[in-house]
Chains A and B, each alone.
Chain A
Amino acid sequence: MENKNIISIEHVTKRYPVGDGEFTALSDINLQFKKGEFSGLVGPSGSGKTTLLNIMGSLDSPTEGKAIVMGRNVAELSHKESAQLRNLHIGFVFQIYNLLPVYTVFENVEFALLLQNINASRRKKMVMDALEWVGLQDMADKKPSKISGGEGQRVAIARAMVKRPEIVLADEPTANLDAKNAHTIMKTMRQLNKELNTTFLFSTHDEKVMGYLNRMIHLEDGKVRKDEPIEKPQYA
């Protein structure tokens, strides 16, 4: 299992219609990710990082090629199957946290578990565990509007991690955070990666994030320019 690819991107091309023509966001991408990786897609805006992340999260599908996630080709999944894949195996962390404003911190984290029909007592334990991982167990009853940006992003991490997914996809997770919070977030995710062997995949152009990665995939104009393993990350 350790050596098996958890995500396999094979000749993936993604084109969007723009006006009368087409814009190529990704062009013939080939990548493999193994369980437990802590990798990042890096590159300037418009390089295709988020598009690739969305395809791996089965939120989008490639125009050509195959994206095999957890052994399933995302292009061939029905809406229900792709929702199930996301619900059971993939956690998302977004740039602007995307917390649901009317729910408390606890309820935000609990949400994914509600979709899995987990019973209330087990749910409560899992949510409190997740909040403990990110150090927010005392803020369970607060609304997202009452917490800081760094705390919000930690809630988002707890929400992504609470269901113990195999993969966490984080799209520019530190873009809205100051340096101190960015490091706190990255350290938390690194620790979870080590403890739970969860595969973390980032899209970023933040050097602080890059300092934690074991593998950096440089994208430019929708193509992989460099795929470099990092033996000794700067902040690891």
Chain B
Amino acid sequence: MKLAFQLAYKNLMGAGLRTWLNVGILSFAFVIIIFYNGMIDGWNEQSKRDSIAWEYGYGELRNDKYNPLDPFTIQDAHGVLPKEKSKDLTPILIRQATIYPHGRMMPITIKGIDTGQKTLQLPTQKLELSNAEIPVLIGTRMAASANLKEGDKVLLRWRDKNGTFDATNITVAGIFDTNVPTVDNGQFWISIDKLWEMTELTGNATLFIANQNFTPLKLNGWNFKTQMNLLKDLNDIIAMKKISGSIMYLLLLSIALLAIFDTQVLSVFRRQREIGTYIALGMTRRQVVGLFTVEGSMYSILATIVGCIYGIPIFVFMTKTGIGMPSASQEMGIAVAERIFPVYGAGLIFGTMVLVVASATLVSFLPARKIAKMNPVDALKGKLQ
């Protein structure tokens, strides 16, 4: 095997430009695969981190009637949890309402939250500090769509527990910036005490956010969604993104492998005399097949080395500066940061190396198999078609 590597190395170096073209294209595929996967992994980690920090905490205890995908459930999806059971939980009451910014009518979701909570990153302390009669927090997306800024007053209309409409002016006490659009789009955050007062639903909550000390328990009328459950949609989206990405990089890898395959087919055809000479000098056909296969594998080994030489500085730069995402990506409805910081783990790099080397070895072996059936006499004469 050592001999095959020595000979293959000499043969590849001897082939000059052809070798470096194959190595170049394969190393490009190698770098792109790592880059793309690193970006998806970076996005994945960042999205999960942000979703946990801003929305899910360590899980949600939801009222049985509440279905976040069905707004018709909001009206009746609330209940009271005994105080001793609500330890390590932050209550959130969700109600539907309408605002009238600048004479327009906009349906919104109003969410009451404990202003002293520390579980979520929402800056609820601003609600405590505000002097306004009914202070609210909104996200940058909500502020943009309603054309509101800090200190603005806007008319809010809502219904109490009996379905009676009421309306008053509320004040934007703060605008927060988050990567998690599901706590921003179409939502107003208000002190839960104030919302209880406004709706006469004192002590009620639609859901509770668990902190790290919470121990899940079975409660009638409530069901606990673990962090894993809550992140499932995000994981599914990322998995789908990975699959669609893998199609792209498999295409790229296929082009690179096609170049190696083509070179190998040409090599087996053009180097018949050489193959015949190897056999005449005492190599077995299996050794010659091995030599040609190792030559193909060495393209990938060289490609990974070359890829590392120019790829690693790029990856290091990317992990430090991040990759700016277009502003349109903020409207996608899932957590996308303005800058994604790719994550290039050892698993990703070594996994991709194995993928590239294994696939290059396979496509090199396929044409090289022909050598095993070659008649050495015909090979020496260069007569094979």
Surface stretch bound by A, among B101-109, B230-238, B278-286, B307-315: B278-286
Q: How far is the CA of A16 from the CA of B68 in the complex (A)?
A: 80
* Cβ 8 A contact of A98, one of B10, B276, B285: B276
* Cβ 8 A contact of B282, one of A54, A87, A102: A87
- Residues of chain A within 8 A (CB-CB) of B279 are 59, 83, 86
> Given the interface contacts A79-B284, A83-B279, A98-B273, does A59 sit within 8 Å of B10 by beta carbon?
no
Q: Does B174 contact A (CB under 8 A)?
A: no
> How does the 8 Å CB contact mask read for A152-179 relative to B, with 1 for contact and 0 for none?
0000000100000000000000000000
Residues in B251-293 with C-beta less than 8 Å from chain A: 273-274, 276-277, 279-287
Residues in A75-108 with C-beta less than 8 Å from chain B: 79-80, 83-84, 86-88, 92, 94, 96, 98, 100-103, 107
Q: How far is the CA of A96 from the CA of B280 in the complex (A)?
A: 14
Count residues on chain A whose CB falls below 8 Å from chain B CBs: 26
* Cβ 8 A contact of B281, one of A60, A79, A112: A112
A95 CB to nearest chain B CB (Å):
10
- Residues of chain B within 8 A (CB-CB) of A88 are 282
- Residues of chain B within 8 A (CB-CB) of A133 are none
The 9 closest A-B pairs by CB, nearest first: A87-B282, A102-B14, A83-B284, A98-B277, A92-B280, A86-B282, A59-B376, A115-B282, A54-B377
Q: How far is the CA of A98 from the CA of B376 in the complex (A)?
A: 13
* Cβ 8 A contact of B14, one of A98, A101, A111, A115: A101
What are 17 of the A-B contact pairs (CB < 8 Å)? A59-B280, A59-B377, A59-B380, A80-B286, A86-B279, A87-B283, A94-B380, A100-B277, A102-B13, A102-B15, A107-B10, A111-B281, A112-B281, A114-B3, A114-B6, A115-B283, A159-B281
- The residue on B at minimum CB distance from A156 is B277
Q: How far is the CA of A13 from the CA of B280 in the complex (A)?
A: 22
Majority-rule SS of B interface residues: helix
Docked-complex contact A103 and B10, CB < 8 angstroms: yes
- The residue on B at minimum CB distance from A88 is B282
Docked-complex contact B285 and A86, CB < 8 angstroms: no
Q: Does A48 contact B (CB under 8 A)?
A: no
Q: Does A57 contact B (CB under 8 A)?
A: yes
Docked-complex contact A79 and B286, CB < 8 angstroms: yes
- Residues of chain B within 8 A (CB-CB) of A54 are 377
Docked-complex contact A80 and B284, CB < 8 angstroms: yes
- Residues of chain B within 8 A (CB-CB) of A107 are 10
- Residues of chain B within 8 A (CB-CB) of A100 are 274, 277
> Given the interface contacts A54-B377, A102-B13, does A86 sit within 8 Å of B281 by beta carbon?
yes
- Residues of chain B within 8 A (CB-CB) of A116 are 282
A124 CB to nearest chain B CB (Å):
15
- Residues of chain A within 8 A (CB-CB) of B280 are 57, 59, 86, 92, 94, 98
- The residue on A at minimum CB distance from B3 is A114
- Residues of chain B within 8 A (CB-CB) of A112 are 281-282
Docked-complex contact B3 and A102, CB < 8 angstroms: no
- The residue on A at minimum CB distance from B12 is A102
- Residues of chain A within 8 A (CB-CB) of B287 are 83
- Residues of chain A within 8 A (CB-CB) of B274 are 98, 100-101
- The residue on B at minimum CB distance from A165 is B282
* Cβ 8 A contact of A84, one of B3, B282, B376, B377: B282
Q: Does B244 contact A (CB under 8 A)?
A: no
Q: How far is the CA of A107 from the CA of B3 in the complex (A)?
A: 13
- Residues of chain A within 8 A (CB-CB) of B380 are 59, 94, 98
Q: How far is the CA of A88 from the CA of B280 in the complex (A)?
A: 11
Q: Does B11 contact A (CB under 8 A)?
A: yes
B15 CB to nearest chain A CB (Å):
7
B7 CB to nearest chain A CB (Å):
8
Docked-complex contact B281 and A87, CB < 8 angstroms: yes
Q: How far is the CA of A120 from the CA of B277 in the complex (A)?
A: 22
Q: How far is the CA of A11 from the CA of B377 in the complex (A)?
A: 21
Docked-complex contact B10 and A115, CB < 8 angstroms: no
Q: How far is the CA of A80 from the CA of B14 in the complex (A)?
A: 28
Other than A98-B380, A101-B274, A112-B282, give 5 A-B pairs with Cβ distance below 8 A.
A59-B377, A79-B284, A87-B281, A92-B280, A115-B283
Q: How far is the CA of A88 from the CA of B276 in the complex (A)?
A: 17
> How does the 8 Å CB contact mask read for B287-327 relative to A, with 1 for contact and 0 for none?
10000000000000000000000000000000000000000
B78 CB to nearest chain A CB (Å):
80
- Residues of chain B within 8 A (CB-CB) of A92 are 280-281
- Residues of chain A within 8 A (CB-CB) of B276 are 98
- The residue on A at minimum CB distance from B273 is A98
B18 CB to nearest chain A CB (Å):
12
> How does the 8 Å CB contact mask read for A48-90 relative to B, with 1 for contact and 0 for none?
0000001001011000000000000000000110011011100
- Residues of chain B within 8 A (CB-CB) of A87 are 281-283
- Residues of chain B within 8 A (CB-CB) of A96 are 273
> Given the interface contacts A100-B274, A102-B15, does A83 sit within 8 Å of B10 by beta carbon?
no
> How does the 8 Å CB contact mask read for B352-383 relative to A, with 1 for contact and 0 for none?
00000000000000000000000111001000
- The residue on A at minimum CB distance from B14 is A102
- Residues of chain B within 8 A (CB-CB) of A101 are 14, 274
